[in-house]
Amino acid sequence: MARKKVNLYQFSNKGTQAERIKHALTLLELDGMYGSFEQLAEEGIKNHITLYDFLETLLEKEVVLKEDSRTVRWIQQARFPWQKTLKEFDFAFQPSINQAFIHELASARFVKQGKNVIFLGPPGVGKTHLSIALGIEAISQGYDVRFVLLNDLIDQFLKCDGNIVRVQRLLATLLRPKVLILDDIDYYTMGEDTSEFVFKLVIQRYNNNMSMIFTSNKSFDDWGGLFVQRQRASSAIDRITERAEIVEISGTSYRLKDKVDSKKLKGKSVVVN
């Protein structure tokens, strides 16, 4: 909810006491207290609750509501293409993944340490799902996150049309969030300017100890194309991997799960790449 501009803070002297309290809570945007104070006050009187306990419970309602709406807002701002959580991830289907390690990453300690996370593996094994899930966990720990498909980032750069102000603004939006998810590092044939932009982004985030999460179905050797010049590629990839947790997934695409299950039921063996 966007903050309303208030021109005058004034306590109302109209209406009943409950109405005056509601007016003040609206003015102060204390929606959590607004929704609960009447019932809490009634219960408090019946159960001989102290004023301190009453006030504490009331404040807790407000903090919980503010935290819920912060999470919702930050998830929207992260621009995830879709939302998936760790709970929705079927680890049994992907035994190559160390579940305990993913839960350690979910603690967002890697963000505090300024480390990167790199998910590598073939299409459909859940790299994007896990990067979004870690992004949501990081948000719940108080870190802001931005998700961008590398292809879209390149498009956004090209749309700046070489205008320095626009390029700087784009760079700033990608440097600001504590966690930047760059999804789908693939083969690229791109111009010198684009490559330099991606290089700058990687180096500046590294220098600022700001985490990135990468997903790719290509090995690091194939990431070179992203940086055009060999020198630039090796120095960027060195920095990306220097403080990185690498999760290699070597399973079957989840998109083929149903096919695999139904074929198993029919007693046929299946080989899926």
Residue 267 C-alpha from the chain's centroid: 41
| Residue 116 in the binding site for ligand ADP (CB under 6 A) | no
Q: Which does 54 bind (CB under 5 to 8 A by kind): Mg ion, ligand ADP, none?
A: none
| Residue 90 in the binding site for ligand ADP (CB under 6 A) | yes
Interface segment toward ligand ADP; rule CB under 6 A; list 48-56, 70-78, 122-130, 171-179: 122-130
Which of 156, 244, 254, 256 binds ligand ADP (CB under 6 A)? It is 254
Task: Decide whether 94 or 128 has the Cβ nearer to Mg ion.
Answer: 128
| Residue 95 in the binding site for ligand ADP (CB under 6 A) | no
Provide CB contacts within 8 A for 202, sequence distance 6+.
212, 236, 239, 240
- Strands of the chain (E only): list them: 116-120, 145-149, 179-185, 211-216, 244-248
Provide CB contacts within 8 A for 117, sequence distance 6+.
105, 110, 131, 134, 211, 212, 213, 214, 244, 245, 246, 247
Amino acid at 105: L
> How many CB atoms sit inside 10 A of residue 40's CB?
17
Residues 192-251 within binding reach of ligand ADP (CB under 6 A): 215
Sign of the alpha-carbon torsion through 85, 125, 117, 180: negative
118: β partners = 214, 246
Least Å distance, CB 213 to ligand ADP, is: 12
Binding mask 58-87 vs ligand ADP (x if CB under 6 A, - otherwise)?
Answer: --------------------------x---
Q: Which does 124 bind (CB under 5 to 8 A by kind): Mg ion, ligand ADP, none?
A: ligand ADP
Strand 211-216 with 179-185, pairing: parallel
Q: Which does 125 bind (CB under 5 to 8 A by kind): ligand ADP, Mg ion, none?
A: ligand ADP
119: β partners = 215, 247
Interface segment toward ligand ADP; rule CB under 6 A; list 58-66, 124-132, 166-174, 261-269: 124-132
**Which H/E stretch holds residue 73?**
helix 51-78
| Residue 252 in the binding site for ligand ADP (CB under 6 A) | no
Q: Which residue's beta carbon is nearest to the bound Mg ion? A: 128
| Residue 32 in the binding site for ligand ADP (CB under 6 A) | no
Task: Decide whether 131 or 232 has the Cβ nearer to Mg ion.
Answer: 131
- Rg of the chain, C-alpha, whole Å: 25
Binding mask 126-155 vs ligand ADP (x if CB under 6 A, - otherwise)?
Answer: xxxx--------------------------
